A and B are shown apart, each in its own frame.
Chain A
């Protein structure tokens, strides 16, 4: 018996030592800061190592439809314009841009630039690339990004001919583009990846040119691709044929594909990566606070919004006051401080502050419980209920994810405390969820939206028609539609901005969507890494980056 007891205690001892070791490790975890400065002490090799999360689904500019592909494409191909370090479009492949007086015809003069195989970059390369994306036979899901061009939509939907699309190579170096409407942000669009060119000669000889690195993957951007090992890594090297090669300082970029935030941060801490977190990767949410406390976390707002959409076709959210009551009774700052922890901005408007500066304040104060109660009372009266408990059962839907769930639980509690309304939560897998939201089989549903280009229209247009693909609220307003229609033909920038603001005001008055917060990008980077440009849309460019 005695012997057994001693064995038991020795086991206990081993176990407790083991657990103690675990614990000690946890304490040190936050302090392990070895990353970054190690690379700088040597002779500073200009080699950047970043994580891009996943395999880019396609590196053909006509087929790319996601940010990972966009990240790679932006480094290897160059469009007519490029978003510069100040977030403004500047001439890139275009040397000169002429805009007609009505703002509907753009004439681009292509600079003397070469593809990586020595072919000259021509106007024809652009015309071919854009028409390739619009050709229905090529199944480009992002072709609609080109619908600003005359005849593009008709050609893409098969109602018109590709020959009638308003993009013409007048000669080798002149590209003429005719637009449907004067589009003041068109030079933003020409920097977007669907508008990137490809080498039309190579593509003609080998339609599968974009599936692997190699001679066929000709590039005209700051870097060219030397290795693409699928689902593993992409290696880019400085392109000697790039017209502005002297600006480019990095010799090599290694883009690895690790889809695990904890590993990403560990690799950074271990000096195996020079960047961890957004926009190309992600940081583990539970590490945010520690990184912030250490002063390592970099935060930058991006043009994106996290929303709760209301189904305005069914009770009780067919009533505007009920919608307002629910939108007012959310304490956004508390969500940000306690759950999100990424210094997001509370959203009391629909257009991000990077586009409308005054939206930092928004249309109503955050967490206005008094007002919320008033709206609720009014709404109840209008719907003919005596008390909040008589409201039809309210369900809040979200797609399955830990972050969405935490937010939903917190808001569920806020609505209960502030309005006395019991809300049930309902989560489903992403695809199932999209189906439900698209069929309006919900009452309140979370949705996010990231801008494709830097213009407010991006955040308003989807609510124009009740049956529009991304509206999903059943809401539409004649006044709102008229303002958007007017903005499309307005050539004066300030007047147009005002029209869009008026449209937003109507939207916020009707509140078919309760805005929650504006997204931010959070990351950590090697201390000696400078001038990586992350735009207001969260697009990253390494053209100017270097190690000090």
Chain B
């Protein structure tokens, strides 16, 4: 196991280096610079700024500086937001995005699995159809429309929740719901189909014929086996929710990291682009690793280390 994780870590560093390099070069190939605006700067001032931020150095020197910065976990100042460093932006924004993401994942998994189980157990009866209608709506309605929809009905019309902002727990519910709607629907469908598959297996029949109660069969034998695809989906889901929260953060005015992920590119805020990309890449790589480890725990048939047939 340790050997396996060590190997994976090594691959992670390699992938990270490739991501950093690709980002660095694409970022520099893109026309424009952090100081471009409708009102053009006098050339002397621009030259001065380039010198100050080291943008006048040859590319390999800048590239090397970036790599050193990443290793030291010090991404430097933001070009645009002069009161903050990139580390500040990440340290302040990520906890917010993380909380929002976790809440959304919790809603998506809890409701999604629940809907899926209900649908599978009441296969081809009305609970199944209702659950699947919700799922189809969830998948086909984009999150930003869901967000305006929730805002309009639950906040403006019914006055249950505030329209936007990030102040109290009540403020977090609408954005989390909006963010969760699509993955929840996906999980519901995933759970339903894999439940149905598992329910058709012989060992379920055996369990039934042993006289086990339907509750025990569902919980011990069916769900555990049916959740494997859901766990697989958790890795990309975590990454998707954390990076994809941009739109939701914008609509609800949430001071998270997702907004910086996109606006930094429009601003050509080089240091923020690099910082946020590196940060998200690490997050993604780690979450994939965790999913692979979780696999082995849930399903002992999957051997992580592999190649041990001889033993």
Contact = CB atoms under 8 A, between A and B. Distances in A.
Contacts of B84: 211, 230
B81 A55 contact: yes
Contacts of B52: 139
B268 A431 contact: yes
B255 A232 contact: yes
Count chain A CB atoms within 10 A of each CB in B40, B52, B166, B266 and give the residue with the most. Answer: B40
A263 B253 contact: yes
Contact of A470 (B40, B152, B252): B40
A368 B259 CA distance: 46
Interface in A422-441: 429-432, 434-436, 438
B255 A231 contact: yes
Contacts of A10: 126, 129
Interface in A1-21: 7, 10-11, 14-15, 18
Nearest to B41: A141
Contacts of A210: 83
B44 A438 contact: no
Contacts of A447: 38
A272 interface: yes
Contacts of B40: 438, 469-470
A57 B81 CA distance: 4
B165 A258 contact: yes
B32 interface: yes
B39 interface: yes
Contact of B156 (A14, A256, A270): A270
B45 interface: yes
A222 to B, nearest CB: 22
A470 B36 CA distance: 12
Nearest to A53: B253
Query: Interface extent on A, as a size class?
Result: 35 or more
Nearest to B152: A25
A232 B48 contact: no
A232 B252 CA distance: 11
A222 B110 CA distance: 51
B163 A263 contact: yes
Contact of A431 (B30, B151, B162, B165): B30
Nearest to A18: B137
B234 to A, nearest CB: 29
A60 B82 contact: yes
Contacts of B164: 258, 260, 263, 266-267, 272
B56 interface: no
Interface string A117-130: 00000000000000
A29 B42 CA distance: 48
B133 to A, nearest CB: 6
A307 B91 CA distance: 42
Contacts of B45: 139-141, 143-144, 156-157
Highest count of chain A CB atoms <10 Å: which of B32, B166, B252: B32
A429 B155 CA distance: 35
A212 interface: yes
A429 B266 contact: yes
A257 B253 contact: yes
- Category for how many chain B residues contact A: 35 or more
Contact of A232 (B36, B80, B166): B166
A161 interface: no
Interface in A468-507: 469-470
Interface in A96-124: none
Contacts of A136: 48
Contacts of B30: 431-432
A307 to B, nearest CB: 11
A435 B253 contact: no
Contact of A263 (B43, B48, B166, B252): B252
Interface in B148-174: 148-149, 151-153, 155-157, 159, 162-166
B129 A434 contact: no
B204 interface: no
Given A431-B30, A431-B33, A470-B39, A11 B129 contact: yes
A267 B163 contact: yes
A25 B148 CA distance: 11
Contacts of B38: 434, 447-449
Interface string B272-310: 000000000000000000000000000000000000000
Nearest to A228: B83
A22 B40 CA distance: 47
In this complex, the member of A32, A55, A63, A269 whose beta carbon has the largest number of chain B beta carbons within 10 angstroms is A55
Given A14-B133, A231-B92, A431-B36, A272 B255 contact: no
A429 B164 CA distance: 29
Nearest to B34: A431
Contacts of A143: 45
B29 to A, nearest CB: 11
A434 B165 contact: no
B89 to A, nearest CB: 8
Interface string B164-207: 11100000000000000000000000000000000000000000
B92 A259 contact: no
A325 interface: no
Interface string A259-279: 110110011011010000000
Interface in B28-68: 30-33, 35-45, 48-49, 52
Contacts of A28: 157
B74 interface: no
Given A57-B80, A263-B164, A270-B163, A15 B133 contact: yes
A272 B163 contact: yes
Interface string A39-74: 000000000000000010111100101000000000
B93 interface: yes
Contact of B41 (A212, A435, A469): A469
A497 B250 CA distance: 45
B223 interface: no
A229 B251 contact: no
A22 B145 CA distance: 11
A198 B32 CA distance: 33
Interface in B205-261: 250-253, 255, 259
B152 A431 contact: no
A230 B256 CA distance: 10
Contacts of B156: 32, 266, 269-270
Given A55-B81, A144-B45, A256-B165, A229 B255 contact: yes
The 3 A-B pairs of least Cβ separation, nearest first, read A431-B32, A469-B40, A258-B253
5 contacts: A58-B82, A141-B41, A158-B48, A231-B92, A269-B156
Given A229-B255, A449-B38, 20 more contacts: A10-B129, A25-B152, A25-B157, A28-B157, A29-B152, A63-B82, A65-B37, A141-B35, A157-B42, A158-B44, A158-B48, A232-B255, A258-B253, A260-B164, A262-B148, A266-B155, A272-B163, A272-B164, A432-B31, A447-B38
Interface of A: 7, 10-11, 14-15, 18, 22, 25, 28-29, 32, 55, 57-60, 63, 65, 136, 139-141, 143-144, 156-158, 210-212, 229-232, 256-260, 262-263, 266-267, 269-270, 272, 429-432, 434-436, 438, 447-449, 469-470
